[in-house]
Amino acid sequence: MSSCTKKTLFELKNVSGCGHIGIKDRVQVLLMRKGISQNELADEIGINKGTLSKILNGHWGASTYIKIKMAQILEVDSLVIFGETGYWKDYVNSCKHLNEVGNESD
């Protein structure tokens, strides 16, 4: 698991207090890590940005093809985006630790 950056620490303020991190928040963190936009992700998948937005907001289910393609582009297992794994709990905990260490040095 890679280290958190200031960008992902900013993003975690929105997701670290909840027990479940939604698909939209997961993808936002992964996009920041990859350095691409949501529009670029949609283009690389081969869908329009409105369709991707509907998927991320839970208004439309992603096909298997879209799930696999999204995981390939974001360089993670599809379960990291769409499933329940310990990945996000570990990620949030590691970022909280980095944030605490950063605050101590201020």
Taking only the tens place, the pLDDT of each residue in 72-106 is: 999 998 888 888 776 777 776 776 665 555 455 44
Burial of residue 6 (CB within 10 Å: 0-12, 13-18, 19+) is exposed
Taking only the tens place, the pLDDT of each residue in 56-73 is: 998 999 999 999 999 999
The identity of residue 70, as a single letter, is: M
Tokens of 47: 């869908």
Domains of the chain with bracketed CATH: 6-104 (1.10.260.40)
| Whether the model pTM is above 0.75 | no
Taking only the tens place, the pLDDT of each residue in 7-16 is: 555 555 555 4
